[in-house]
Amino acid sequence: MDERVREHAAVLVDWSARVETGDDVVVSVAEDAHELGVAVAEALGERGANVTTLYGSDELSRAYLKGVEARVSGEGDGCDENDDDAAVDAADFDSDPAVDRAIFEAADAYLRIGGGRNTTATADVDRPTRQAYAKARQGVREARMDTDWVSTVHPTRSLAQQAGMAYEEYQEFVYDAVLRDWEALADEMARMKEILDSGDEVRIVTERDDAPDTDVQMSIAGRTAVNSAASVAYDSHNLPSGEVFTAPYDTAGEVFFDVPMTIDATRVRNVRLVFEGGEVVDFAAEAGEDALADILDTDDGARRLGELGIGMNRGIDRFTDSILFDEKMGDTVHLAVGRAYDACLPEGESGNDSAVHVDMISDVSADSRMEVDDEVVQRDGTFRWEEGFEQ
């Protein structure tokens, strides 16, 4: 086994999930992530944790959802007359799957190890079906998020292909992002957290000749920023991580997202959102606009922001069409429509609620600035405490 796999497992168990002796840990392992799953199981055994393993397969998910579609349309149930246009909705799923919910309610930690065989395994499942399934499983999702959960990926050939990289090259990329001095990065990101915690309003501006401008303002007053240093001790749940994020509201203005991404198994590129009164009132995309429209129509909260994130992991040096990495990349900011994270909210306050949380990314490495309360804190990707910053 590549020693970096064991190092990855050690970071996940020790730094990220902070697993302790006697903890009940659920580990979900994707089809091609077996090697990292083995290393994690070994590390958990050495720690004295109790382990329950799940098989996290997008191909199995596809088969199940296609079966539901067939049942709802009448195919395969013996009916002579089929309603091929019947759409799946949340009522076609168990709204409170007791077994799944019980697993997570009993768990101390949940470790998701991604790395499937096909990054678009569910592409031929109708979007309404995927949205209905997400709505129906919201209770399970809440139970899972109440654990000390961490999501990571094992470098696989399918992910390398999606990133447009050779397999060995992609392995180097992943481990450069994951095997960081996380304590040192946490100390640096604490500077950005302090700025956001004490601020009331953020403004992001880009002015480029080759792309639409961005000029968007949002309130962050009363919110708490998360120093997402890849550990539950920092209210951070992704490995790799390396961002500072908060939960904005009262958004106004226009924003252009120039980083291509895959949303709901669909390639989406060059997205423009217009906000008034805190919600999206107009939108466009050069590619994948129908997928974007479906996301925004999921529920009332899907047209409001749930997150402002600032990428600060410079171990990630290129876009790979994986939100786990791309949103953490230095010289980027991202906004997510949908659900806000409780860690950013005052105790007892409910933030934006939605069945979705979809991130979109802007490259701010040139011709850009970010202001907090009218003071520039980042210009052209350089923070005010870094060498080369120009006020």
pLDDT digits over 84-93, tens only? 567 888 888 8
Q: Looking at the predicted structure, is the pLDDT value of residue 179 above 80?
A: yes
pLDDT > 50? residue 81 = no
Of 178, 203, 221, the one marking the end of a domain is 178
Distance CA 218, CA 160 (A): 36
Kindly state whether residue 342 falls inside one of the protein's structural domains: yes
pLDDT of residue 151: 96
Domain ends where: 145, 178, 211? 178
Could you tell me the CA-to-CA distances from 92 to 86, 134, 292 in Å, in that order? 11, 12, 24
- Is a pLDDT exceeding 60 seen at residue 77? no
Whether residue 11 contacts residue 240, with contact meaning beta carbons closer than 8 Å, is answered with: no
Question: Which structure tokens are listed for 325?
Answer: 């990495």
Q: Is residue 378 part of a domain?
A: yes
So what's the pLDDT on residue 120?
86
Domain boundary among 124, 147, 178: 178
Q: What is the number of structural domains in the chain? A: 2
**Is residue 133 classed as helix, strand or coil in its secondary structure?**
helix
Q: Quick one: which H or E segment has residue 20? A: none
Average pLDDT taken over every residue of the chain: 92
Q: How many CB atoms lie within 10 A of CB 227?
A: 26
> Distance (Å, rounded) from C-alpha 291 to C-alpha 281?
16
Between CA 114 and CA 117, with CA 116 as vertex, the angle to 5 degrees is 165
The pTM is what? Answer: 0.83
**Both 309 and 268 in a single domain?**
yes
Q: At what angle do helices 289-296 and 127-136 cross, to 10 degrees?
A: 30
Specify whether 163 is located in the same domain as 240: no
Distance CA 247, CA 218 (A): 10
pLDDT of 95 strictly over 50:
yes
What is the model's pLDDT at position 9? 98
Residue 82 reports pLDDT greater than 70:
no
Residues 174 and 191 in one domain: no
Domain co-membership, 186 together with 174: no
Residue 33: inside a domain: yes
Burial class of residue 240, CB neighbours in 10 A (0-12, 13-18, 19+)? buried
In the three-class reduction of DSSP (H, G, I as helix; E, B as strand; rest coil), residue 161 is classed as helix
> How would you label 84-96 residue by residue, b for 16+ Cβ within 10 Å and e otherwise?
eeeebeeebbeee
Task: Let me know: does 186 contact 227? Beta carbons within 8 Å.
Answer: yes
**Hey, what are 154's tokens?**
């094992």
Residue 272, in any domain of the structure: yes
CA distance 238 to 227: 12
One domain, residues 216 and 357: yes
Q: Has residue 389 been placed in a domain? A: no
Task: Kindly state whether residue 352 falls inside one of the protein's structural domains.
Answer: yes
Structural domain of residue 99, as residue ranges? 3-178
Does 135 have pLDDT greater than 90?
A: no
Residues 203 and 158 in one domain: no
The answer to whether residue 141 sits within a structural domain is yes
| 14 & 104 share domain | yes
The label of the residue with tokens 């959102």 reads: 273
pLDDT over 90 (residue 381):
yes
What is the arithmetic mean of pLDDT over 355-362?
A: 93
Alpha-carbon distance of 205 to 342, in angstroms, equals 27
Query: Is residue 222 within 8 Å of residue 346, measured between CB atoms?
Result: yes
Predicted confidence (pLDDT) per residue in 246-279, tens digit: 999 999 999 999 999 888 778 899 999 999 999 9
Least reliable range by pLDDT among 115-119, 293-297, 346-350: 346-350
Say whether both 193 and 167 belong to one domain: no
Residue 290, sorted as left (phi over 0), alpha (psi -120 to 50) or beta, turns out to be: alpha
Domain assignment of residue 391, yes or no: no
* Same-domain pairing of 187 and 145: no
Element (H, E) at 83: none
Is the same domain home to 13 and 125?
yes
User: Are 227 and 121 within one domain?
Assistant: no
Residue 121, CB half-sphere, CA atoms under 13 Å: how many? 19
Tell me the per-residue pLDDT of 13-42, one tens digit each, with 9 for 90 and over: 999 999 999 999 999 999 999 999 999 999
Position 389 scores a pLDDT of: 82
Torsion sign, CA atoms 154, 155, 158, 160: positive
Question: How confident is the model at residue 79, as a pLDDT?
Answer: 47
Average pLDDT over residues 372-389: 93
Band (pLDDT 50/70/90 cuts) for residue 119 is confident
Q: What is the CATH number of the domain that holds 19?
A: 3.40.1830.10
* Residues 205 and 324 grouped into a single domain: yes
